[in-house]
Amino acid sequence: MKRTLILIAIAAAALTTSAQARNLKVASLSRPFVIRTTDTGAGFSVDFPIVGHVHGASTTFFTSLDITNNTAQPTDVDFFYTPADGSATRSGTFGTLQGFDDIHSDDFLQSLVDSGVITSNQADNSFGTLLLTFSNPSFIKGTEATAVARIYSFAAGTSGPTYGLSYRATPLHTDGAHSLASVARSTSGLVTNIGIENVGIDDSGNSVSAPITVRLSFFDPSTGTEVGTQPTFNLAQGQVIQINDVINNAGKNAFQLPPGTTSVIVFVDEIAGSSQISGYAVQKDIATNDGSFVLMQESKTPF
C-alpha cells in the first residue's frame, strides 16, 4: 500500500511538471523570415501591433507572451520584431512547438536580451510590432495555433499584484484593411491612446518595403460633424506609432478639437502606399494605469 501511494505521488508530480509551459528560447534564423497568409496556405503568420517594455509616467509596462499549438502536429515558430523608433529589425526562431504545446515568456523583450538578440539598452523603454510565422504547411486556417500577449504593470513597486490587459494576435490574410475606426474618450480620469501599424504586406499577401501615409479624421458624435485637423503620419514597413491621449495630447490639444471634447470617432485612412494597416485603442485609467484594449475595426472612408 505504501509503495502504491509513493507511485501515485510520483505520477502526480510528473503530471504537474509536464503541465507547465516551456520558457521561451530564442535562436538565430538560418533562413529568411517569410510572411504567410491564411488564404495562400503552407502555414500562416500572426500580427501583434504592439509589444514592449515601456516606462510610463508612474510605472513600467511589460509584455508577456504565450504561444500555443492547438493541434497534435508540431510546427516551427519564427519571429520578426520591428522597433517603433526605426532602429534595426530583428528576426529569429522560437524553435518547435510540439503537439498541444505552449511556450511562455514573462517579458518578451527581456527574452531577446537574454538570448543576445538585442542589448539591455535597446530593450529598455522600447516597443514595436511582432510577427510570428507558424511554418507547418498543413496550418492553413489560422486557428491551428494561437499567440496571446499580456501587457501589464505592477500595482506597486517591482513585484506582487499587477494590472494588465491581454489580446490575441491576428492571423494575416489577403485583402486586409486600409481604413480603420474607433471611439476615443477623455475625461478627468481616463485617456485614450491610439496605435497605428503598417502591417507590411499588400492585399495579395506580398511583402511591401515601401512606406505608407495615413491620415486621421475626427467626428463629434453629438453633432455628426468633422472637427479638428487631419494630421498625417508616415510609417515604414512594420512600424507602429502610438498617439497618447489622442483628444488632449497631454493638454496640448495638438489636433485642435473643440474645448471640452470628451468623445470623438477616430478614422484612420491610408492615403499613400499599398500595405495593409492595423490599429488599436487603449482606454487607460490615469490613476491606476489599468487599460482596456480593443483592435480598431476596418471602416471605409465616411466622406
Percentage of the chain beyond pLDDT 70 is 92
Q: What is the pLDDT of residues 166-190, one digit of tens each?
A: 999 999 999 999 999 999 999 888 9
Domain 179-298 fold is Hypothetical Protein Tm1070; Chain: A (2.60.290)
Cα-Cα-Cα-Cα dihedral sign, residues 221, 223, 226, 231: negative
- The three three-digit cell numbers of residue 237, written as one number: 514597413
For the CA atoms of 103, 104, 105, 106, the dihedral, rounded to the nearest 10 degrees, stands at: -170
pLDDT band at 301 (very low <50, low <70, confident <90, very high): low
Q: Which three cell numbers stand for residue 157?
A: 513597486
Cβ 229 vs Cβ 257: under 8 Å: no
Q: Which of 189, 182, 191 is nearest to 246 (CA)?
A: 191
Question: What is the pLDDT at residue 172?
Answer: 97
Nearest to residue 131, comparing CAs of 27, 243, 245, 207?
Answer: 207
- pLDDT band of residue 20 (cuts 50, 70, 90) is low
Three-class SS state of 218: strand
pLDDT band at residue 155 using 50, 70 and 90 as cut-offs: confident
Separation between Cα atoms, residue 43 and residue 80, nearest integer Å: 16
* Residue 109 φ then ψ, to 5°: -65, -35
Q: What is the per-residue pLDDT for 5?
A: 41
pLDDT at position 71: 98
The answer on pLDDT for 9 being more than 60 is no
Question: For residue 6, what pLDDT band results from cuts at 50, 70 and 90?
Answer: very low
Listed by start position, the domains of the chain span 22-171, 179-298
Start-to-end CA span in the chain (Å): 79
Distance CA 214, CA 271 (A): 6
Residue range 56-108, pLDDT digits in tens: 777 889 999 999 999 999 999 999 999 998 889 999 999 999 999 999 999 99
